[in-house]
Structure 1
Amino acid sequence: MDLAITISRIILSAICILAVIASKIKLGNWWIRVFDFPRIQLLSMASIALILFFIPTLEIKTWNMVLLGLVVFSFFFQARKIFPYTFFAKKEVKRFRGKDHDHGIAVLVSNVLTPNRHTEKLIDLVNRHRPNLVLTLETDAWWEKQLKPLEKDYPYQVKIPLDNLYGMHLYSNLPLENTKVHYLVKDDIPSIHSEVVLPSGDRVQIHCVHPEPPSPTESDTSVPRDAELLIVGKNVKNADLPVLVFGDLNDVAWSRTTRLFQKISGLLDPRKGRGFFNTFHARHALLRWPLDHIFHSEHFMLRKIKRLPSISSDHFPIFIHLVLSDGNGQEDQKEKLEQDEKHWTKKTIDEANPNMLTI
């Protein structure tokens, strides 16, 4: 029993320490960047490892104490990364408690998983929550045909059916104007950029994205994903209109890239202080993290945000209802870019060799 505990403690400790080292390495290789995702799980591993150090009793040996110290460091390292998304942290976006139908906008984002055939589950969620915008990801021609019933209530559409897992469909019951489809970094990975006209007459600039993730089956590095997010961030930072950026970013909220995206763009994350809202993986409760995101400019306050029930995809849909308001008061809280962050941003975008830099 003691041997099994010792071996388990050493293995867990090694994984925790390796994850911290990987987080400090500024390389884009998928096998390094993969450690950005499971920080909740890594924090749990560190907790278990710490408990195992005291079962049956803590051995006061130099190597044991050094290992214990490293695990303690890894625990606080991971805790610090995910803390802003816990209920104990300060909320970045204030709650809107009034009634204002003309200035509100509700968005539902769903990565449907192309082989999934349970379209009725998504349609039912749309009918139940009645969002103004519905963004579907991984939708091909078959999905487009199955989602045709939505078109009656959502007369404004942008359809990009693809069979490469990067199809994208946008349905809106509010007018869309100045709509563009761009392939920012790769020729087969689209993004949608448009303006939504609210009932009040106000315009909101929207950007729907689904960059390629770093993985052994898709991209060897995170560079294409990082570059696409950073390009969008640079383009919206001085926007004349209120801004929404949403989609499956294939990145977690606490990663270096997403945090840098927020710094560059000045956009806010309504999840901070409210919870993780883990949308992936819908089928594995112990392996979940937030991959689907909705960021917005300081012009909005939050009425509601919710992770919706499964539609038999590997992602849960996410729903948000925002209201145009000047009540956030975040103008003086924006973080400034450090010199190394500016350098890394330029280097990443240059390395990706994007198709365009201006949206």
Structure 2
Amino acid sequence: MIPTIKISLVVLGVLCSVATVLPLLPLRDWWIRAFDFPRLQLAIMLGLILALLGGCALYSGVRRTWVAAGVALILVASLGYQVKQIVQYTALVSPQAERATREGAEQITLIVANVLIDNRDASRLLTKLRAEQPDLLLAVETDTWWREQLAVLDADYPYRVLRPLDNTYGIALYSRLELIDPQVRYLIEDDVPSIETRVALPSGAQIQLYCLHPRPPTPFENLASTERDAELLVVGAAAKRSPLAVIVAGDMNDVAWSSTTRRFQRISGLLDPRIGRGIYATYHAKFPLMRWPLDHVFFSEELRLVEMRRLGRFGSDHFPILITLSHEPGEREGHEEVPSADLEDRVEAREVIEDARDKHDPDSPK
């Protein structure tokens, strides 16, 4: 029985190690990029496998062979790599984005909610909105039904950008604050909208806001991550060029620790409030063992974190996320090192964007 258990554990451990290595390949195929997501789950599995193999060795007697040593080394190295990726999203490292320090500074509160197009109970989300009273609501997967249900917000949120769609990529932005020059843009795919606008604070200061929900790489949609990656990088480059404080928010269908999201951060120079604080997994709301952070808010160094919370379930497969930021343009010092791009990042970003645009619009300007 013990040899059978050991063989089964070794096979499972090797599969977990393969799943650890696959995302390191410079390929965009959906089945490779899928292994970017379950790093925490893989780390837990690898830890359990090593513990159980150790228990089996103690029970049946330790046999030191090159094969056993090689397997143990592979599993330990895989576990170490996964832990290295995850540990940044714990209190064991310094936060990348600093807490607010200036009393009386203007604040802005945003809720990001993927409503799930098949969710036909809007009351639970509306209850949360009444309790939290955010300045802005970004809702994605909104169709005509959701537009009708959220119409009760119109009186309190006079500034709106609405693009309901039946393809799960509808998007809606509701704001108490004035929106200046709001635009719905189709950055890569002609059926996947995003929103670009400036938000006017009561003092007259403005914040540049980008709202995204790119299509993920799956066997049922895009077979590669090219379109998703390109949309993130296009917005990252625009954020870097903006002279204003910047917020980028949305369901980005990517995890915080993926190579694409990290390149997006370096290209944009934006901060991730999760680093040094927690994972804040927002998907899947109904399966606790399979959760990862897909809904994000990144922001520039002129902004500081007041509060970030994952709110409770409301019938969607995503949890909403709430963030309050303080606008402190004279307090740039204090953040951990702001991400910056090198030549390799810029070249790779340009290649990804060109590949995506060639695929969807071969005549588009490069």
Q: Which amino acid counterpart does residue 354 of structure 2 have in structure 1?
A: D
Structure 1 gaps of 5+ residues are none
Trace 1:5-84 onto structure 2 (pairs within 5 A): 5-57=5-57, 58-84=62-88
Contact map agreement 1:53 1:68 (CA 8 A) in 2: no
Match of 1:207 in 2: 210
> How many Å separate the matches in 2 of 1:309 and 1:89?
27
Provide the secondary structure at the position in 1 that maps to 2:233.
Answer: helix
2:349 is aligned to 345
**Maintained 8 Å contact 1:93/1:328:** no
**Contact 1:237–1:266 (CA under 8 A) maintained in structure 2:** yes
Distance in 2, Cα, partners of 1:238 & 1:183: 19
Give the structure 1 partner of residue 191 of structure 2: 188
In 1, are the aligned partners of 2:253 and 2:294 still within 8 Å (CA)?
yes
Per-residue CA shift, 1:93-137, capped at 9, x if unaligned? 11125543x611000000010010120111111111111000100
Q: 1:333 to 1:174 in 2, by over 3 A?
A: same
Give 1:41 shift. 0.3
Distance 1:12 1:263, change over 3 A: same
The answer to whether the 8 Å contact 1:281/1:315 transfers is yes
In structure 1, what residue type is equivalent to 2:123? E
Aligned equivalent of 2:165: 162
Aligned-partner Cα distance in 2 for 1:139–1:117: 11
Alignment of 1:294-305 (within 5 A): 294-305=297-308
Check the 8 A contact 2:23/2:32 in 1, yes or no.
Answer: yes
Q: TM-score when scaled to structure 1?
A: 0.95
Q: Aligned partners of 2:102, 2:343: CA distance in 1, in Å? A: 42
Structure 2 length-normalised TM: 0.94
Report whether the alignment pairs 1:110 with 2:113. yes
Query: How many percent identity over aligned positions?
Result: 41
Alignment CA distance shift 1:357-1:225 (3 Å): farther
Question: Is the partner of 1:54 in helix, strand or coil?
Answer: helix
Note the alpha carbon deviations across 1:183-215, whole angstroms, 9 max, x for none: 000000000000000112110000000001011
Correspondence list, 1:86-125, <5 A: 86-96=90-100, 99-100=103-104, 103-125=106-128
CA-atom RMSD in angstroms: 1.7
1:337 is displaced (CA, Å) by: 2.7
Contact 2:265 2:340 in 1 (8 A): no
Q: Which runs of 5+ in 2 are unaligned?
A: none
Structure 2 residue identity aligned to 1:93: A
The equivalent residue for 1:139 is 142
